[in-house]
Structure 1
Amino acid sequence: MMTEIYKLHGLTKEEYERILEKLGREPNHVELGILGAMWSEHCSYKSSKVFLKMFPTKSERVVQGPGENAGVVMLDEHVWIAFKVESHNHPSYIEPFNGAATGVGGIIRDVLSMGARPIALGNSLRFGPLNDPKTKHLVKGVVKGISHYGNSIGVPNVCGETFFEECYITNPLVNAFCLGVLPAGRIYTSRAKEPGQVLVLIGSSTGRDGIHGAVMASGEFSQDKESKRSHVQVGDPYFGKKLIEAIMEIIEKDLVVGLQDLGAAGLAGASSEVANKSRMGVELYLEKVPLREEGMEPYEILLSESQERMLLITDPEKVDEIQAVAKSHHLECALVGKLTDDGYFRAFFNGQVVAELPISLIVEEAPVYVRERKEPSYIAEIRNFHQEQLPEVDLKEALYTLLSSPNICAKEWIYSQYDYQVGTNTVLKPGGDAAVLRIKWPIRPQIKSDKLIAITMEGNSRMTYLNPYEGGKFVVAEACRNLACVGAVPVGITDCLNFGNPERPEIMWQLEQAIKGMADACQYFGVPVVSGNVSLYNETVEQKTARNIYPTPVVVAVGVVENRKFLDHKFKEDGHLIFLIGDLRRGSKIDGSEFLKRIHGKVLGDVPEVNLEKEKALHGLLLRLINEDLILSAHDVSTGGLMVCLLECLFGTSLGATINLYTGERLDFFLFSENPTRVVVSVKKEDAETFKDITEAEGIDWVLLGRTTDDGILRIELYDEPVMEEKLEPLEELWKNTLEKALSHTL
């Protein structure tokens, strides 16, 4: 008789009935656990799959697009790069340290499983307001977990972003990114070549941590997080480092035909995915799995998400040599299964069959939902906004308020805890528009690259909340603009789509619209999406009231600096001219801006629309100006607007600036608008005419803002009349120390 035990595995009644129909019998406890994990939102993408097809995924550089553990693109004829971003949101709320640490470990193994050596990490973080003690606890725990794992394993954390908003108070977002390098032509996938090849489990021993992790990550939250602590994996970066070196040695010795990370759904998930991609079946021998806890049952062995484990696909005659390599690195290693030709998943324990399911049922026949979509009622309400009705504010007071916003102030307290220079590949460190790395480490003695890699992470959930379609365009445009500011051409994007409960039509509408906006921008810019992750059910239910996060697509754009010419965002010397370039002929909108939120306490309006034609032209112009040595710095106008952009160009330089504006707009709107497609650049006086001619020829607007000075003072003038004069030292001190003070202050 059918019972409601299926609910314990995250399945609905309809899904359970579908399983009964396909099997012609009731599944046993182990089989139900496997299907519950693999049919979860986290593993099957059953609510988002229909929309992900909108993304462009191919280009001349793409070697491997979505569908594997990470995407791979060509850097040049010698080196390829693999990269991906993933979420570890729910675990990081339950256990901030371990949740964030294992997020880093998991994304490293995704890249490693492509045969790539991990060389760079990044993270995108979202938390509730900093005046909440719980938020402070989460921030400290998450940052400590990220730094502990990354620093210990020896992979630099080079880029990221952090935002604070009320909607994340009980649902923080922790998105982890990794990039690795591999020799051109030597890519591994999670596929066997023929039946009879075997599966070797290597790494750490298997424990009970992380069981039900995939199911837990695919449901809404309640405040009862204590009961879910056992679902959170516990990582060991020192084992992770040994695993990296062992895998690199195994690859160099050509001992495997494929690799698969053990992540969500553990051994059951990894082995069934290998079998499905190989169009084969699989047999597992669970008594051979190295265990660290006594008395573990087949259910636990199959679904444990213990960290630092990988599945190797190899020929039987190479197992002894693999085990010898594992032993030399002090890792557990065992032959735990083999590929078959019958398309079935079978797990044995001491000779007894404990699970027998069609591979297609586990992986391919998970339901795909086309859920109802409906525009949220709040959209009509927030669009009824007229910025001209807002009272004018004192510029100095507004500036000090914004610089003390946790969304604008320096994030040095966070990234200074990360070793972002380990490996000595980091050329441009965190704090600017994008990180830049060299490939000086030879994968093999004869393999190297003269090109540089640029990486940037972007997300603007407030804009996506106001208008998901335009917000999706907005995020992609800013990520590509960041690359252009440092002199890089984008070669690929990986994204993490963090949204609320997909069973709510309003959330599905947000998801569909955001993906469409992102896809349209990617298509126009010619940038493929090569990998990614979807994190749904970011919803907290308290006293029968649901709180969903803002729709939060996070974009990581990876670019190539072709000729090693790159820029940072800092002004260089006294007497240089400061220009604003981009799409400047439309009025300044403060919709969705930090100025509107912090000064006026409102999240209203529409998104300042991205003109994709102008945006693409601006990217091309920046690359040309950098290659021809006509600009000395470049920094895009983003959170906080033009005023904050100018200050970020000045902080840390001891320089000042005189800005003389000629505009009929309200000065507070002009200075604090977050209109897209605008970049501040600095130019030598003798290059100014050439710079202006080229900018105009490329169809891009420009305006001379002023010049740098040597006195450490910011002067703002309007039609040559003084408006504000402020020493930069107190402004920089406020900007630099706000986050640390907020986190150390006891309420």
Structure 2
Amino acid sequence: MPEQPQLDTVATAQRTPDNPQPYSELGVADDEYERIRRILGRRPTAAELAIYSVMWSEHCSYKSSKVHLRQFGEKAPHSDALLVGMGENAGVVDVGEGRAVTFKIESHNHPSYVEPHQGAATGVGGIVRDILTMGARPVAVMDALRFGPLDAPDTRRVLPGVVSGISFYGNCLGLPNIGGELGFGAGYAANPLVNALCVGVMRHEDIQLAQAPGPGNKVVLFGATTGPDGIGGASVLASATFDDESHAKRPSVQVGDPFLEKLLIECSLELYRDGLVVGIQDLGAAGVSCATTELAAGGTGGMRIELDRVPLRDSTLTPEEILMSESQERMMAVVEPERLEEFTATCRRWNIQAAVIGEVTDVTPEEAERGGRLVMTWNGETVVDLPPRTASDEGPVYERPYARPPEQDALQADTPDRLARPEDDEELREQVLRVLAAPGVCDPGWVTGQYDSYVRGDTVLSAPHDGGMIRVGEDGDRGIALATDGNGRYTRLDPYAGTQAAFAEAYRNVAATGARPLAVTNCLNFGSPEDPGVMWQFAESTRGLADACRTMGTPVTGGNVSFYNQTGDSAINPSPVIGVLGVIDDVHARLTTAFPPRGDGARVLLLGTSGEELGGSVWAEVVHGHLGGLPPRVDLDAEAALARLLSAAADDRLLATAHDVSDGGLAVALAESAMRGGVGCSVRVEEPFADLFGESGARAVVVVLPEEEESFARLCREHGVPATEIGTIGGSALTVNYPDGGFSIDLDTLRRTHEGTLPAVLDAE
């Protein structure tokens, strides 16, 4: 038999201070390694080095982003609705009637490129456990996806795998997928973005926190056994730039079991209901390392763990491998000794394995001053003795240099004004169809059709409407609405304004359902933080979002930063994805994007002010392959007024349809509403090119109920929102008239064009 490696204990580390350690291979920089030695007063053991390497990784510590993320707290608007803010696993918002909602979005980008199905599946599983950890029942998921060009060979490998992973995990859990986004672009060819959102519902009194109070309380690991899959998974894969060796990292991708997670959800909720848990943490990125250090740091600061009591499915795992493993479907709880038997009995009833692996300890004032004390043993030998706060809360914080890229001015100066415009009616019509068929605009049904959107029976709205909506209680009609939005073209042109535009669109999409926007989560996807140009993009983006949230009164409740989304020197366009949550008192008042099928003669109104804003537009990209100029101007006051108007109109039952105007402009909004309702419309515009393709913000298309036209006009005046009648509902075509001509496209042609793009490529594959 091969000789077993000698156990690296604390005593061994003290005797052998100069033993070389592979810290750089674990992503630890030279100065970080020296800092670890100063904290410990010696070299770290192999197990301690494993803890610091994953906890100080970019993915877990936010070491390059913290200085900018602080704005979300410093500029946070006051909100009576915010019950739990940033710092916990997910934010919690009061939605009335004693109920609270928790929601969060996170990335699983790099694992989803290496192993698309499992990477995406475990991304869903991880965000669901974050919501579960807060004490809530997960009730719905969403996803925001970005891929390379649709016809690229790698996209045809990655996209189907990602979609199958999301649908497999979510469908097996019985969670409806109620919306999200699907985008394409050359920069995402080797760096897909897989951002998963989950929302959960609870009573106020059900909130759980990641803490380990009470010396003598037991630390229980329950759920799946620990194996070698995912060792250093998200923490390693998400903290380094991709290269040609990326596919060799497949063993670092976690493997998910949604059926076990379903049992874990029901078991955990029963444990919460019966008051058997005093602290809880899921095991996601960094596994046992993260759960123990964060629980200890959030409680007394002391904890003792026996690693040899961790249930394994591979008996050869070393202590450091156990600490770095990111095996899925695991939770860690702090349980009072007198309730331990009840806890384990509940786990047995749900066929969930549970093992006591340690206990909470008290700390001396001196130990508390140093950051607490976390001790771990292996067969009686001490392999970890460190202050947990130094790993969880006091990691390195970098003020990375940042500078506006020298090419930014030239990019903004290259406006779309120079691009050739359609010369006649037929060319204008043809370009409308080209924009409608664009991969980022076309019908996403090939993807969303694989998701179960109505399981659980509480779904009110789902894709392809502007936002998803679910009922939040069985004893009433209150609901919540969610939308995610991001536009990498806009943020490439101006990260500050582009991020505000993404926020504004998500805010507008929630309002277009009739809900009142309340709070924000975000997933900030960028290239390498070691590139000053990327860090400038990130700094401007976070500043833009913080300023917008302060203006609109919507606090950021939490989120995720994903750096190193690049291959070699080629980074993705900066891609902040913004999620907005809103509440509606009665889901029966919800608005849809579909024209009313029996609404012949009903008036179509365009709300807001239009301009010739084509920088970063779909038209410029699709027709000319152009990116340049400035993104549409963001008017937050106008966005707030429009949102208040739409919510009030929904409450008063004045509208039959509401659809925001965004990607592709008015042409796309009208075509989508016509196709979804199965009825055409006839509209008149004054400047056909700019009016159809311009992407000015703070706009929506609405259809007013005939008997409510006067009431709605009065409401528009009260809220200061311009409303222009542009046409009527009826017929079986989209007809556009203007001073010098016009064109018409029948609904069948619209549908074939809009619905045919994805199947033509992906079904053939």
TM-score range, shorter chain: over 0.9
Structure 2: how far apart are the matches of 1:492 and 1:651?
A: 31
1:657 equivalent in alignment to 2:684? no
Tell me which of 605, 609, 616 is aligned to 1:583. 609
Match of 1:265 in 2: 286
Give the 5 Å matches for 1:51-130.
51-55=68-72, 56=76, 58-130=78-150
Other structure's SS at 2:676 match: coil
Give the 5 Å matches for 1:378-417.
378-393=407-422, 394-417=427-450
Alpha-carbon shift at residue 696 of structure 1 (Å): 2.9
Match of 2:383 in 1: 354
Alpha-carbon shift at residue 2 of structure 1 (Å): 6.9
CA gap of 1:323–1:668, structure 2 versus 1, over 3 A, is same
Give the 5 Å matches for 1:597-676.
597-661=621-685, 663=686, 665=687, 667-676=688-697
- The Cα offsets for residues 491-550 of structure 1, whole Å up to 9 and x where unpaired, read as 211111111100111111101101111111111111111111111111212xxxx11111
- The Cα offsets for residues 176-234 of structure 1, whole Å up to 9 and x where unpaired, read as 11111111222110112222111101101110111112122111111212321111110
Match of 2:525 in 1: 498
1:21 equivalent in alignment to 2:50? no
Judge conservation of contact 2:206–2:272 (CA < 8 Å) in 1.
Answer: no
Other structure's SS at 2:96 match: coil
Structure 2 portions without partners, runs of 5+: 1-17, 364-371
Give the 5 Å matches for 1:152-167.
152-167=172-187
Structure 1: how far apart are the matches of 2:295 and 2:255?
A: 25
CA gap of 1:154–1:685, structure 2 versus 1, over 3 A, is closer
Structure 2: how far apart are the matches of 1:733 and 1:449?
A: 40
- The Cα offsets for residues 284-325 of structure 1, whole Å up to 9 and x where unpaired, read as 111111111121111111211100000011111222221111
Q: Letter of the aligned partner of 2:553 in structure 1?
A: G
Match of 1:174 in 2: 194
Q: Letter of the aligned partner of 1:106 in structure 2?
A: G
Other structure's SS at 1:367 match: coil
Other structure's SS at 2:655 match: coil
Judge conservation of contact 2:37–2:43 (CA < 8 Å) in 1.
Answer: yes
CA gap of 1:2–1:166, structure 2 versus 1, over 3 A, is farther
Q: Letter of the aligned partner of 2:116 in structure 1?
A: P
Alpha-carbon shift at residue 449 of structure 1 (Å): 4.4
User: Which sits farther off after the overlay, 2-11 or 499-508?
Assistant: 2-11
TM-score under structure 2 length normalisation: 0.93
Structure 2: how far apart are the matches of 1:378 and 1:399?
A: 31
Match of 1:518 in 2: 545
Q: Letter of the aligned partner of 1:413 in structure 2?
A: W
- The Cα offsets for residues 235-273 of structure 1, whole Å up to 9 and x where unpaired, read as 000000010111111112211111100011111110110
Alpha-carbon shift at residue 58 of structure 1 (Å): 4.8
1:274 equivalent in alignment to 2:295? yes
Alpha-carbon shift at residue 614 of structure 1 (Å): 1.3
Tell me which of 49, 58, 61 is aligned to 1:41. 58
Match of 2:405 in 1: 376
Question: How many aligned positions are there?
Answer: 729
Structure 1: how far apart are the matches of 2:139 and 2:557?
A: 18
- The Cα offsets for residues 573-606 of structure 1, whole Å up to 9 and x where unpaired, read as 111111101133xx32110011000101101110
Alpha-carbon shift at residue 159 of structure 1 (Å): 1.2
Match of 1:10 in 2: 27
Q: Letter of the aligned partner of 2:191 in structure 1?
A: N
1:550 equivalent in alignment to 2:570? no
Structure 2: how far apart are the matches of 1:725 and 1:430?
A: 27
Other structure's SS at 1:85 match: strand
Structure 1: how far apart are the matches of 2:276 and 2:653?
A: 48
Structure 1: how far apart are the matches of 2:42 and 2:536?
A: 37
Match of 2:366 in 1: none
The runs of at least 4 consecutive aligned structure 1 residues that moved more than 4 Å come to none
Judge conservation of contact 2:415–2:615 (CA < 8 Å) in 1.
Answer: no
Match of 2:748 in 1: 729
User: Which sits farther off after the overlay, 36-45 or 18-27?
Assistant: 18-27
Alpha-carbon shift at residue 429 of structure 1 (Å): 2.1
Judge conservation of contact 2:280–2:334 (CA < 8 Å) in 1.
Answer: yes
Judge conservation of contact 1:581–1:680 (CA < 8 Å) in 2.
Answer: yes
Structure 2: how far apart are the matches of 1:382 and 1:309?
A: 47
Structure 2: how far apart are the matches of 1:104 and 1:405?
A: 27
Alpha-carbon shift at residue 643 of structure 1 (Å): 0.3
Structure 2: how far apart are the matches of 1:670 and 1:742?
A: 31
Structure 2: how far apart are the matches of 1:547 and 1:386?
A: 23
Other structure's SS at 2:269 match: helix
Give the 5 Å matches for 1:98-247.
98-213=118-233, 214-247=235-268
Judge conservation of contact 1:715–1:722 (CA < 8 Å) in 2.
Answer: no
Give the 5 Å matches for 1:344-493.
344-393=373-422, 394-441=427-474, 448-493=475-520
Match of 2:732 in 1: 712
Judge conservation of contact 1:593–1:674 (CA < 8 Å) in 2.
Answer: yes
Match of 1:559 in 2: 582
Q: Letter of the aligned partner of 1:528 in structure 2?
A: P
Structure 1 portions without partners, runs of 5+: 442-447
Structure 1: how far apart are the matches of 2:19 and 2:699?
A: 61
